[in-house]
Amino acid sequence: GCVCCAAAEGLVTSLQRLLTMELDRLIIEPSGMADPAQVLHLLRQVAAESRLELRPTIALLDPRDFDPDRGQPSPYFRLMANAADILVLNRTDTAEPGTAGAFRAWAEGLETPPLRAVTTEHGRLADELFELEADPVGGKGHDGHGAAVHDPAGRTGGLTWPADAVFDHGRLVQTLTDIAENGVDGIEVPRLKGIFHTDKGWFVMQVGDGRLSLRETPARKDSRVDWVTEGGNVDSERLAALLGAAGTVA
């Protein structure tokens, strides 16, 4: 589950258990669907009651998600950037000319600039980046009182179904492909990740870069989907109806 909502309680329990051990550093890497501001809010609550000391939040951007002509990242990266202390443009060896410069200009122009904006290849980061210190309360992604601040342009949501709900694989793929290409009711859905029980087995299906990808996965306790939208919020009941129309066969 998502560490900022469905699995939040489990994350707290795991952290408390790990903090009884002799560890130098814990690195938490949530999926691209997680809201980093909410994860940070949760970690600050744990830190206030333990020996946990928070260090910088790092957000990595793939150059494919950054348009050097517009100088703007994709919507879901803007959501991450709002909560990040360090912004990283990774895989610069694959970037189009001008992308690195546009990235730096965009980072410097943010209302609350990051502690660092760096470019790299293969995810290599200098050790000193992990030692930087950010404002423990009023840093990026918070309003100065420790409350999470959300990007109004990017909205998140999620749905679950019991494991005995079985989706028609072909119709589900077609529906998600249409969402990837056209959004929902004029609202873009740049990121979506779902685990579905279909009549062909269990599948992870993800929307990103305007296309759908899928792979088989072991059986899970339920089917679920999470998403990030751009330009408005997609009502959960509306998306449930669309996916339901894809057809359950049991």
pLDDT per position as a tens digit, 224-238: 888 877 777 777 788
Host domain of residue 222 = 154-245
| pLDDT in the model for residue 75 | 63
Residues contacting residue 3 through CB under 8 Å, at least 6 positions apart: 11, 28, 30, 34, 39, 42
Compute the distance between CA of residue 78 and CA of residue 74 in angstroms, rounded to an integer. Answer: 7
Identity of the amino acid at 150? H
Domain limit, last residue, from 64, 96, 131: 131
- We report the CATH number of the domain holding residue 59 as 3.40.50.300
75: left (phi over 0), alpha (psi -120 to 50) or beta: alpha
Domain shared by 88 and 161, yes or no: no
- We report the CATH number of the domain holding residue 226 as 3.30.1220.10
- 149 belongs to a structural domain: no
Domain shared by 96 and 203, yes or no: no
Q: Burial, 239: exposed, middle or buried (Cβ in 10 Å; 0-12, 13-18, 19+)?
A: buried
Compute the distance between CA of residue 148 and CA of residue 137 in angstroms, rounded to an integer. Answer: 11
- 111 belongs to a structural domain: yes
- 116 belongs to a structural domain: yes
| pLDDT in the model for residue 249 | 57
Domain shared by 14 and 120, yes or no: yes
- 204 belongs to a structural domain: yes
Domain limit, last residue, from 99, 131, 163: 131
- 175 belongs to a structural domain: yes
Domain shared by 111 and 195, yes or no: no
Buried b (16+ CB within 10 A) or exposed e, 72-82: ebbbbbbbbbb
Domain shared by 72 and 105, yes or no: yes
- 1 belongs to a structural domain: no
Tokens, residue 210: 């305007």
pLDDT in tens, 27-68: 888 766 666 767 777 787 788 778 888 888 888 888 887 766
- 137 belongs to a structural domain: no
Domain shared by 51 and 14, yes or no: yes
Buried b (16+ CB within 10 A) or exposed e, 186-196: ebbbbbbbbbb
| pLDDT in the model for residue 177 | 94
* Residue 30 CB neighbour total at 10 angstroms: 16
Give the residues of the chain that fall short of pLDDT 70.
1-8, 31-35, 37, 67-76, 79, 111, 134-156, 247-250
- 205 belongs to a structural domain: yes
Domain count for the chain, please give it.
Answer: 2
Domain shared by 127 and 14, yes or no: yes
Domain shared by 22 and 127, yes or no: yes
Domain shared by 162 and 81, yes or no: no
Domain shared by 27 and 83, yes or no: yes
Domain shared by 30 and 103, yes or no: yes
Compute the distance between CA of residue 204 and CA of residue 233 in angstroms, rounded to an integer. Answer: 23
Domain shared by 102 and 213, yes or no: no
